[in-house]
Amino acid sequence: MRSFQIILIISLFIGTCVGWISAEEKTSAIHPLQFVVPKGWPQPVYDFKQNPLTQEGFQLGRKLFYDGKLSKDGNFPCASCHQQFAAFATYDHNLSHGFNNSFTKRNAPPLFNLAWQKEFMWDGGINHLDLQPLAPMTDTNEMAENIDNVIAKLKADTTYRRMFKAAFGDNNINTQRLTKALSQFIVMMVSATSKYDRVMRGEDTFNLPQRLGYDIFKRKCASCHSEPLFTDFSYRNGGLTADDFLNDCGRMKITHNINDSLKFKVPTLRNAEVTFPYGHDGRFYSLLDVMNHYRQGIINSNTTDSLLKKGISLSNFEIGQLKAFIYTLTDSAFLNDSRFAPPGFENRTQRPPLQHLHASVQGLQSAAH
């Protein structure tokens, strides 16, 4: 018993020393990063306790997001389909390009306000933000790589070894840390500084068409595109038919419930100005196409949303005003936020490629007419 006491005292002493040292290391090495919930918004659903945000984790995630190493041939980083100037959707593409001249099967969603999202993809098949990157990384028509190869490439890179150590405390590189770092980067993408947000905070005012558009929006759109996230995250059939090549039945693929046929997640309207084309397969090139669909293109089937069965009545004037309102959801501060730019490009404004810029100018002009 006596020897036990001595051992206890000695081990207590050692334990305290170790505790002291590791506590010192922690405070000196890792810089916590704060996630700010915009005023009046709901609490995020992402569990930050399981993945505490740090400067080091964020910077690692940012490097990974822009690194082709995550793809099979090095050409397809996350950012190849998720471009900042398109609010992290693919600019001016109905479907995105993937490995070996392939196309994706659906329109790339924009990335922002993901901390409030429970399920991911157009069909909600992915149940956690940390898991999301694994789908494009391994899909043969996207990044086409396997997880083991990605981990091996990262382990062979001294910069990554250093950055993983800085973010997580040691050199170990595994799937969990890879995806947690990516989550730290993308979860920080919050779009809440558009003109609409300034108006809601009382710092700005709508002009007449915007104000009229907001009234129309509240009457005719807000039941699905609910504020402040401009989606209620439900799955609905917006009166579509399946594309006869893609044959995409949407949510039914996940639930195996025939009542979910052709249902897709309600997309957010934030930054819609730069996320064209629209719809799960990008079939609507412009906002006008979307609104024309709602007023005269609805296909009634068993699963068509009850709110849309008769279409939405919209006059040409109302469409113009609605567009004026939707453009107030463009968050230029977010689109140009240097924190989300590729590492080393902080001070250079990213722009769409020239020919695309031209298309966008045309789009805006036709919108004005």
Interface with another protein by CB under 8 A: which residues? 4, 7-8, 11-12, 15-16, 19-20, 23, 50-51, 121, 125-131, 134-135, 138-139, 146-148, 151, 174-176, 179-180, 253-254, 256
Of 186, 105, 185, nearest in space to 142 by CA: 105
Q: Minimum distance between the CB of residue 31 and another protein, rounded to whole angstroms? A: 21
Which tokens is 207 given?
A: 């002009």
Rg over alpha carbons for the chain, rounded to the nearest Å, is: 24
Q: Minimum distance between the CB of residue 233 and another protein, rounded to whole angstroms? A: 16
Residue 174: Cβ-neighbour burial (10 angstroms; 0-12, 13-18, 19+): middle
- Cβ distance to another protein smaller for residue 71 or 194: 71
Of 198, 325, 326, 352, nearest in space to 272 by CA: 326
- Cβ distance to another protein smaller for residue 94 or 183: 183
Sign of CA dihedral 9, 11, 12, 17: positive
- Cβ distance to another protein smaller for residue 53 or 121: 121
- Cβ distance to another protein smaller for residue 20 or 317: 20
- Cβ distance to another protein smaller for residue 125 or 363: 125
Q: Minimum distance between the CB of residue 325 and another protein, rounded to whole angstroms? A: 35
Coil, helix or strand for 67?
A: coil
CB 225 within 8 A of CB 269: yes
Q: Minimum distance between the CB of residue 250 and another protein, rounded to whole angstroms? A: 13
CB 110 within 8 A of CB 271: yes
Q: Minimum distance between the CB of residue 52 and another protein, rounded to whole angstroms? A: 14
Q: Minimum distance between the CB of residue 175 and another protein, rounded to whole angstroms? A: 5
- Cβ distance to another protein smaller for residue 120 or 325: 120
Distance CA 278, CA 94 (A): 7
Which tokens is 168 given?
A: 């997580």
